[in-house]
Structure 1
Amino acid sequence: MKTKTMMQMGALALTLLASSVMAAVSQEEANKLGTILTPLGAQKEGNADGSIPAWTGGLKPGAAPVDANGFLGDPFAGEKPLFVITAANAEQYKDKLTPGQLAMFKRYSDSYKIPVYQSQRTGGAPGAAYEAAKKSAVNVTLTDGGNGLANFAASRYYPFPLPKSGVEVYWNHTNRYRGGNMVRQAAQAAPQTNGSYTIVGYEDELSYPQHMDGVEPGRADKLQYLYKQQVTAPARMAGTVLLVHETIDQVNDPRMAWLYNAGQRRVRRAPQVSYDGPGTAADGMRTADNADLMNGAPDRYDWKLVGKQELYIPYNNYELALPKHKYAEIIQAGHINQDLTRYELHRVWHVVATLKAGERHIYAKRDMYFDEDTWQLAEVDHYDGRGQLWRVAEGYAYSDYERQAATYAMMGIYDLIAGRYNVLAMTNESKHAPVYGGTSKMSDYTPAALRNAGVR
């Protein structure tokens, strides 16, 4: 009987230990979401001097007029910068600038500038996303050393609203609420040093398994999202189609990608569409995992959570996204037209990803800065194997107030050594703004479907 009792106590101890491992945070801690903290885990209060205001819920639908083609109006139209940071006065503000921003001032001392506006905490999400974050907090855990997520399929968003590690912050970025299924027309360019460029147009679709018909239940639990991109211009590239199945655990269940080559009229597996494989039609100016500033598996890096700090980051870039601004006005030599941008002081999570010994990637270190209100990446500094700052990425963020989703007007990946860059996800000259919502079909996201999509 004594032996039996000891065995029962041992089993109970193991059960309690397993429960403590499985529980992401306690319910008591999770109850801070939406009370002491914002529903997504940010500090509600402003900073000491009031330059960062308190969060009051973010922008709501109807914050500004929306035109007939779905393009959002600017809720802050007419506002003027509080001041402008240039190469001449950057030293004065260096404690609130990233090393990459300071390097941009040195590289483009005559043209790069940061217009700083009054900070507006516009980030928010629908109530269902807030509930998902709270559910994630007490259920979702890391697997395989941070390379995957357990118990995530039931919540789907913001797996770690109360993060304890750098990789958890990264997972929040990749699984932030983006407005649901999306279809859009967009463009990118990789200007030469003299500013000349060719627009690469494409149509892309993003779908989530919880908003799709025909996904096998077992497979749905393993997928983050499905993505399809068809190049529409220039003519020599038109018809090429990329398909990606993004998984929750990209080590044990790696990302699957296929490419339809219009010239060959063949569909092939595309394992190069990951890590430091070349970004599609980017002329070597970015990697596959530079899209969305960073995407994909985190397994090649060691992740360190440095903490929070206040930075001037691109924010509320409604003006930059307006259709009245044509690509010829936006794209310039060295960097985009900074007169159209808007920066604000915000708190960010600073995370450093350092390449593991024995792993390969052209970026040996990534200094990453995530907006605390939305979990969306704002700035990334990329270092090469020699420890030299190589590329600087900026995400020109704004809040889609109609869907209460974090997004980018566009993104820029700036190569300090080459003097070139890649600007992607521009929609200014599209016939219609991105369209969100609706239910898609799994049958449209199969390799066989690529042949039909890519016919020209």
Structure 2
Amino acid sequence: MNRYPLLLLAGLALGLAAQPVPAAVSEQEARRLSSDLTPLGGERAGNTEPLSSPLAIPPWRGEGCRVPAADQPLLRIDAGNLAEYEADLPQGVAAMIRRYPDSFYLPVYRSRRTAAAPDWVYRNTAANAVRATLSERGVAGAFGGIPFPIPHGDAGARGRQAMWNHLLRWRGVFMERQSSQLSVRAGGGYRRVSSRQSLYFPYYDERLDGERIGPRYLYYYSRILAPARLAGGAVLMYDTLDPARMPRQSWGYDVGRQRVRRAPEIAYDAVLAGSDGLRTVDDADLFNGALDKYRWRLLYPQPVERFIPYNNDFHIDLEREGESLRRGHLNPARTRWERHRVWVVEGRLREGERHIYSRRRFYIDEDSWQIAVADQYDLSGALWRVSLAYSKCYPQLPAVWTALDAYHDLREGRYHLRFTETSEPGGLVFPETLPDARDFLPSALPDLR
């Protein structure tokens, strides 16, 4: 595995050349997005459980970020009742309860379907449903919305469509964030890397259109602020809709040598020093990057009901770390879990390819297309790591997006937190003044702030 002593977050890429898979649906099928499906492709109806039950999924009504502060847990799932609820959990979550039977549990709240997007994203999603196409190379014909809101075709095609929906999901157009990443030791204590990031999604820039966005849909920049031994180092990265023709491009700024160099190693299972070896490059965002190393398939023809992290709103006070950081995992009392429908997608390593994970399973929220839980298996096929996206509804967009990602090593008892909101200044903002591609040139990398 490659090591690169800089900080990275997300990215997107795909490889291989092949004939397009029919992915567009008919006009009649697309009209479901205004009837029995939500505008982003989830099922509007709730399940049959009474709303007072922790097993209930309410109908989607487009209410946005309405989560009453007075909500209280309706159920606690722990080692004592795991057998009763295990079928309702992602495999990795059940494994976490077994690994930490005395401390890890799920406080289950009433489900709030807060996922939403602006009307123009809904309109673009409906248009994408009848025009977007999928191939082993990438995505064509999509702009400004979920590319495949109604997955169809065989299990392989639908699995890749769902993964692209995660990669191209609505998270705003431009964001800036100052945050920390914490690597928590098995015996307690942590290492912290603080950084500032900028992400620009031209794919969702209304100033452009499907013809003018070009091949790149993400510009990403990150600069390390602390610790001193890494401070000043920076990464710049571009990702594209057709990565077989134009793969991920990335550059690193070496503050010691004061030079910018190409960094093609920022991909796949390269491990970054800031994560203490607990996170690969393509673990960021629970998955990013090229799909080409795995054969993907949808495990169930329709979304299934599971308990997943949802509507979490908290920050970690590092002066009072005991309130949030526990051995092996976050303090469960600070988290919120809800019952939602998820698409379950599995990737198995292709013959002849190399990666530290032989298999990966993703549980993708049907309303937002955010991966909520990821199970990662080692080369012997044993469950090794479990990653959780503690999502949050951001009313200023509106959108459901991760507030904090947690990566757990079941063997070593260590974990890594990414995008941690702490008491330090900065935080996450969505500036109204948008950048353009010229603001993300490699020549400007040392001067970007």
TM-score by length of 1: 0.87
Question: Are 1:169 and 2:159 counterparts?
Answer: no
**Aligned mates of 1:282, 1:228 — CA distance in 2:** 17
User: What percent identity do the matched residue pairs reach?
Assistant: 39
**Aligned mates of 1:367, 1:54 — CA distance in 2:** 27
Shift of residue 309, structure 1, vs aligned partner: 1.1
Change (3 A) 1:452 1:104: same
Change (3 A) 1:267 1:214: farther
Question: C-alpha offsets along residues 83-127 of structure 1, whole Å, 9 cap, x if unaligned?
Answer: 111112211111101111111111111111110011111111110
Change (3 A) 1:202 1:21: closer
1:105 corresponds to which letter in structure 2?
Answer: I
**Aligned mates of 1:218, 1:26 — CA distance in 2:** 22
Question: Are 1:149 and 2:144 counterparts?
Answer: no
SS state of the match for residue 188, structure 1?
strand
Question: Are 1:54 and 2:76 counterparts?
Answer: no
Question: Are 1:392 and 2:380 counterparts?
Answer: no
Matches within 5 A, 1:44-443: 44-50=44-50, 51-59=56-64, 63=66, 75-143=67-135, 145=136, 147-152=137-142, 155-164=143-152, 165-209=158-202, 220-279=213-272, 281-307=274-300, 308-318=303-313, 320-321=314-315, 329-436=323-430, 437-443=432-438
**Aligned mates of 2:21, 2:251 — CA distance in 1:** 37
Shift of residue 282, structure 1, vs aligned partner: 0.6
Question: Are 1:28 and 2:28 counterparts?
Answer: yes
Shift of residue 379, structure 1, vs aligned partner: 0.5
Instruction: Choose between structure 1 and 2 for higher RCO, CA contacts under 8 A separated by at least 6 residues.
Output: 2
SS state of the match for residue 440, structure 1?
coil
Q: How many residues align?
A: 417
**Aligned mates of 1:55, 1:212 — CA distance in 2:** 27
Tell me if structure 1 keeps the 8 A contact 2:107–2:337: yes
Tell me if structure 1 keeps the 8 A contact 2:342–2:364: yes
Tell me if structure 2 keeps the 8 A contact 1:213–1:442: no
RMSD: 2.3
Shift of residue 216, structure 1, vs aligned partner: 13
**Aligned mates of 1:387, 1:322 — CA distance in 2:** 34
Question: C-alpha offsets along residues 245-287 of structure 1, whole Å, 9 cap, x if unaligned?
Answer: 0111222210001110111211111112111111461111010
Structure with bigger gyration radius: 1
Q: Which residue of 1 aligns with 2:13?
A: none
Question: C-alpha offsets along residues 283-321 of structure 1, whole Å, 9 cap, x if unaligned?
Answer: 110100111110111111111111221111001102x24
In terms of fraction of residues, the more helix-rich structure is 1
Shift of residue 442, structure 1, vs aligned partner: 2.3
Change (3 A) 1:425 1:33: same
Shift of residue 427, structure 1, vs aligned partner: 1.8
Question: C-alpha offsets along residues 400-420 of structure 1, whole Å, 9 cap, x if unaligned?
Answer: 122111211200010111211
SS state of the match for residue 179, structure 2?
strand
**Aligned mates of 1:339, 1:190 — CA distance in 2:** 20
Shift of residue 330, structure 1, vs aligned partner: 2.2
Tell me if structure 2 keeps the 8 A contact 1:87–1:106: yes
Change (3 A) 1:23 1:374: closer
Change (3 A) 1:217 1:389: closer
Tell me if structure 1 keeps the 8 A contact 2:176–2:197: yes
Change (3 A) 1:289 1:429: same
**Aligned mates of 1:322, 1:438 — CA distance in 2:** 29
**Aligned mates of 1:388, 1:251 — CA distance in 2:** 31
**Aligned mates of 2:207, 2:122 — CA distance in 1:** 27
**Aligned mates of 1:327, 1:408 — CA distance in 2:** 21
**Aligned mates of 2:89, 2:423 — CA distance in 1:** 31
**Aligned mates of 2:262, 2:252 — CA distance in 1:** 6
Tell me if structure 2 keeps the 8 A contact 1:325–1:428: no
2:116 corresponds to which letter in structure 1?
Answer: G
